[in-house]
Chain A
Amino acid sequence: MSSPDSNRSQQVSNSGSAGNPIRTVKRLILASIGMFAFGFLLVPLYDVFCDITGLNGKTSSKAYATEDGLLVDKSRWVTVQFLTNKNASMNWEFEAAEHKVRVHPGELRKVSFTVINPTTQRMTAQAVPSVSPSEGAEYLLKTQCFCFEQQELSPGANQQMTLLFRVDPKLPEHIGTLTLAYTLFDITSSTDNAQALALLDNPTGLDQPTLASDL
């Protein structure tokens, strides 16, 4: 009997499925690496998908540039409700001055929110908005929002924060109420690192951590 190795090469050449295993293996390894990359690609794809479909209640992360041409539809009322939530580990106080406003579509409206840092530490917070029903998310146009930036408060300090928004007159007829929920997150620990890094790139220190600014 000859050695198994030569048997194997003989086997391969005689095989009914004659093929080169090395080529198969190379392709399969490439496919595995490709699928690993695809897993990461799903992250931006997920955001793009939510963006296009307006699912998930994500509002635009950029301020809406005011168009003076936006008509105010005096014939219609839309109720906008505000919810202020805190993430489990967050112990700031966070309140909206008004919990509910009635606006005409197209009308610019200002709502103020208050945050208080009752702790003894300097903390940084980030508010993350979400609109319900998610179908209405793209019609809530924010000209100015505290959620576009981070809030940093020294112990015991408080801050008034402004939201300037209008409701797009193109809002579908069947939506009479929009609920804008903010969740406040404690991002002190991640900003410490991120700011240290950002300072290296941008000595003004005004930059935000990359992922937060992608909101």
Chain B
Amino acid sequence: MSDIAQSTSQSPSKSDQSGHDHHGPAKGITRWIYTTNHKDIGTLYLWFSFIMFLTGGCMALVIRSELFQPGLQLVQPEFFNQMTTMHGLIMVFGAVMPAFVGLANWMIPMMVGAPDMALPRMNNLSFWILPFAFAMLLSTLLMEGGGPNFGWTFYAPLSTTYAPPSVTFFIFSVHMMGISSIMGAINVIATILNMRAPGMTLMKMPLFVWTWLITAFLLIAVMPVLAGVITMMLMDIHFGTSFFDAGGGGDPVLFQHLFWFFGHPEVYIMILPAFGIISHIVPAFSRKRLFGYASMVYATASIALLSFIVWAHHMFTVGLPLAGELFFMYSTMLIAVPTGVKVFNWVSTMFRGAMTFETPMLFAIGFIVLFTIGGFSGLMLAISPADFQYHDTYFVVAHFHYVLVPGAVFSIIAGAYYWLPKWTGHMYDECLGKWHFWLSMIGVNLTFFPMHFIGLAGMPRRIPDYALQFADFNMIASIGGFLFGFSQLLFLYIVIKCIRGGKQAEANPWEGAEGLEWEVPSPAPYHTFSTPPEVK
């Protein structure tokens, strides 16, 4: 492997760029519009996702400002509902998913020793659909009747019979996001299955590649079902069918079944790549090999398979028969086993390792601790009789924010810090990175931990006003929300600072990091592994 490292680093990126029109990036804006380079497209995805993260974050801050104290102060309930809906949609489809696709674009070809993604033009298309989809989604806020106000789960008949007229634009934009995700997933699978370097067998693939392969199969399996559901909504609204209208022989509960058949695998789509990232960072900063590589792969696969048979735990209160409640309760609890295997493996990797705590590692440890808390509250929610009490309260909000914010988002941030030297060729500011971590860590917990308490005490979610006894915890949560939100501007500053300069990064800036991506120089040349490396 060291041979390749030398041969690649011997051809400096400068000569690559001047040698051939093909090899360097084009100049100006057309570079980004016409690009088929996986690194360019990865960068586009990551910046897009960050912009969406800030957009959805602003909406979260509107929500937290309104909830700062009881009573209606800032916004009307109608607009509040649009904010909760759009916040959810944008964070799920605009921030977390594109961020993982961006990381996949940047890292997977380098990790498997491929020169690019398998379908570079489709890659370009699948990115460039997104800005249009989200521009359309955001434009609904300016339309008569307002934007989507039915919650990100868009349950019928709220999203059909009682929806604002703009719902058609919502449906079309979700269709576009779905097509983009499916194309991205096809690209990832085609790359991983066909373009691995000689010698890289499946069980030698880095875990980020493994988790993304499984995630991509989940996307192929469930995004078309989502497309089907919103097509049925469209037909109910405009073409007189009655899929979800009981008056015409349909069933609104059917909507929930179909939605969660997509929705539950979707939550694993948002966390499996995170598991992959953490499985890279923890060994690197513990200076040990990952404990239990094979069990990690099997655990990921079993989580993915189980995700298809647990969907009705989101709808325990719709009136499922007892047998159904029990089946979905036990199958949900079963997921804790492979997830527990993963947490055990990460902790065992750290055990007696020579650990250092650079920013990526801090975020990774934050991930492990806080994601586990989110997992445990998930187990509580899985207990069907208890769920009748927790359903649609802030406890649910606390649970899924714990798995998505210090879960998925922390892992993306950790991955960004980990690979920033490879992307930019510079080291980021370690001191500011640590500030970013601690501010985020405190902000996240201040925001979401009190939500457990107000949820257990009975505060319902998706309401702009609440009873007086919830006031103190809501105020704490709002302060935490602003702290977390503004800390992300520090992240933006750190990334820009790192792009513009800083200490020159070596090919492998981390003592313990392993993988093909660290064998190419930093910054990674525009084209890497034009000749495939040999993996032993």
CA gap between A21 and B535 in the complex, in Å: 21
Q: Known contacts A15-B195, A24-B189: does B249 contact A212 (CB below 8 Å)? A: yes
Q: How many residues of B contact A (CB 8 A)?
A: 63
Quick check: is A28 within 8 A (CB to CB) of the other chain? Answer: yes
**Interface code A67-99, partner B: CB below 8 Å = 1, 0 otherwise?**
000000000000000000001010000000000
Residues 180-233 of B contacting A (Cβ, < 8 Å): 182, 185-186, 189-202, 220-229, 232
Q: Known contacts A12-B194, A56-B251, A193-B240: does B116 contact A35 (CB below 8 Å)? A: no
Quick check: is A8 within 8 A (CB to CB) of the other chain? Answer: yes
Quick check: is A185 within 8 A (CB to CB) of the other chain? Answer: yes
CA gap between A89 and B119 in the complex, in Å: 51
Residues of B within 8 A of A212 (CB): 242, 248-249
Of the stretches B19-27, B268-276, B327-335, the one at the interface is: B19-27
Would you give the shortest CB distance from A29 to chain B, in whole angstroms? 7
Of the stretches B366-374, B447-455, B526-534, the one at the interface is: B526-534
CA gap between A55 and B530 in the complex, in Å: 59
Would you give the shortest CB distance from A201 to chain B, in whole angstroms? 15
Q: Known contacts A16-B197, A32-B220: does B249 contact A214 (CB below 8 Å)? A: yes
Of the stretches B252-260, B391-399, B425-433, the one at the interface is: B252-260
Identity of the chain B residue whose Cβ is nearest the Cβ of A197 in the assembled complex? B240
Identity of the chain A residue whose Cβ is nearest the Cβ of B162 in the assembled complex? A88
Whether B257 pairs with A42 at a CB distance below 8 angstroms is yes
CA gap between A21 and B189 in the complex, in Å: 9
Whether A1 pairs with B20 at a CB distance below 8 angstroms is yes
**Interface code A1-30, partner B: CB below 8 Å = 1, 0 otherwise?**
101100110111011111111001100110
Would you give the shortest CB distance from A61 to chain B, in whole angstroms? 8
CA gap between A19 and B191 in the complex, in Å: 10
Q: Known contacts A1-B20, A42-B257: does B195 contact A209 (CB below 8 Å)? A: no
Q: How many residues of A contact B (CB 8 A)?
A: 54
Whether B531 pairs with A46 at a CB distance below 8 angstroms is no
CA gap between A194 and B253 in the complex, in Å: 24
A-B contact pairs, 13 of them (CB 8 A): A7-B530, A16-B196, A16-B199, A17-B192, A17-B195, A21-B118, A21-B193, A24-B194, A28-B190, A36-B225, A55-B324, A190-B242, A211-B248
Quick check: is B389 within 8 A (CB to CB) of the other chain? Answer: no
Whether B535 pairs with A87 at a CB distance below 8 angstroms is no
Residues of B within 8 A of A214 (CB): 249
Whether B22 pairs with A187 at a CB distance below 8 angstroms is no
Whether B530 pairs with A1 at a CB distance below 8 angstroms is yes
Whether A190 pairs with B115 at a CB distance below 8 angstroms is no
Of A39, A40, A128, which is in contact with the most chain B CB atoms at under 10 Å from its CB? A39
Q: Known contacts A20-B194, A42-B257, A190-B240: does B248 contact A1 (CB below 8 Å)? A: no
9 closest A-B pairs by CB: A185-B247, A39-B228, A35-B224, A36-B224, A17-B196, A39-B225, A16-B198, A19-B194, A21-B118
Q: A39-B225, A209-B240 are in contact. List 16 more A-B contacts (CB 8 A).
A: A4-B115, A12-B194, A15-B197, A16-B197, A16-B200, A17-B193, A18-B194, A20-B194, A21-B191, A21-B193, A31-B221, A35-B224, A39-B258, A53-B321, A183-B246, A190-B247
Residues of B within 8 A of A117 (CB): none
Partner of A190, one of B198, B224, B225, B248: B248
Whether B240 pairs with A134 at a CB distance below 8 angstroms is no
Partner of B115, one of A8, A56, A215: A8
Q: Known contacts A11-B195, A15-B196: does B189 contact A209 (CB below 8 Å)? A: no
Residues of B within 8 A of A52 (CB): none
Whether A7 pairs with B247 at a CB distance below 8 angstroms is no
Quick check: is B470 within 8 A (CB to CB) of the other chain? Answer: no
Identity of the chain A residue whose Cβ is nearest the Cβ of B16 in the assembled complex? A1
Whether B198 pairs with A24 at a CB distance below 8 angstroms is no
CA gap between A56 and B319 in the complex, in Å: 8
Q: Does more than half of chain A's interface fall in helix, strand or loop, or is it mixed?
A: helix
CA gap between A128 and B249 in the complex, in Å: 8
- List residues of B whose CB falls within 8 A of some A CB: 16, 19-20, 22-23, 114-116, 118-119, 161, 182, 185-186, 189-202, 220-229, 232, 240-243, 245-251, 253-254, 257-258, 261, 321, 324, 527, 529-532, 535
Partner of A17, one of B185, B200, B253: B200
CA gap between A111 and B246 in the complex, in Å: 23
Whether A15 pairs with B194 at a CB distance below 8 angstroms is yes
Residues of A within 8 A of B530 (CB): 1, 4, 7, 11
Residues of A within 8 A of B202 (CB): 17
Whether A38 pairs with B225 at a CB distance below 8 angstroms is yes
Residues of A within 8 A of B199 (CB): 16
Identity of the chain B residue whose Cβ is nearest the Cβ of A53 in the assembled complex? B321
Q: Known contacts A15-B196, A17-B196: does B119 contact A25 (CB below 8 Å)? A: yes
Quick check: is A33 within 8 A (CB to CB) of the other chain? Answer: yes
Residues of A within 8 A of B20 (CB): 1, 3
Whether A128 pairs with B186 at a CB distance below 8 angstroms is no
Residues of B within 8 A of A28 (CB): 185-186, 189-190, 220
Residues of A within 8 A of B223 (CB): 32, 35
Whether A46 pairs with B254 at a CB distance below 8 angstroms is yes
Residues of A within 8 A of B250 (CB): 211
CA gap between A82 and B190 in the complex, in Å: 59
Whether B194 pairs with A215 at a CB distance below 8 angstroms is no
Whether A134 pairs with B321 at a CB distance below 8 angstroms is yes
Whether A128 pairs with B195 at a CB distance below 8 angstroms is no
Residues of A within 8 A of B23 (CB): 1, 4
Would you give the shortest CB distance from A36 to chain B, in whole angstroms? 4
CA gap between A34 and B227 in the complex, in Å: 12
Would you give the shortest CB distance from A43 to chain B, in whole angstroms? 6
Residues of B within 8 A of A16 (CB): 196-201, 535
Identity of the chain B residue whose Cβ is nearest the Cβ of A22 in the assembled complex? B190
CA gap between A4 and B115 in the complex, in Å: 8
Whether A211 pairs with B198 at a CB distance below 8 angstroms is no
Residues of B within 8 A of A15 (CB): 194-198, 532
Residues of A within 8 A of B253 (CB): 56
Identity of the chain B residue whose Cβ is nearest the Cβ of A36 in the assembled complex? B224
Residues of B within 8 A of A59 (CB): none
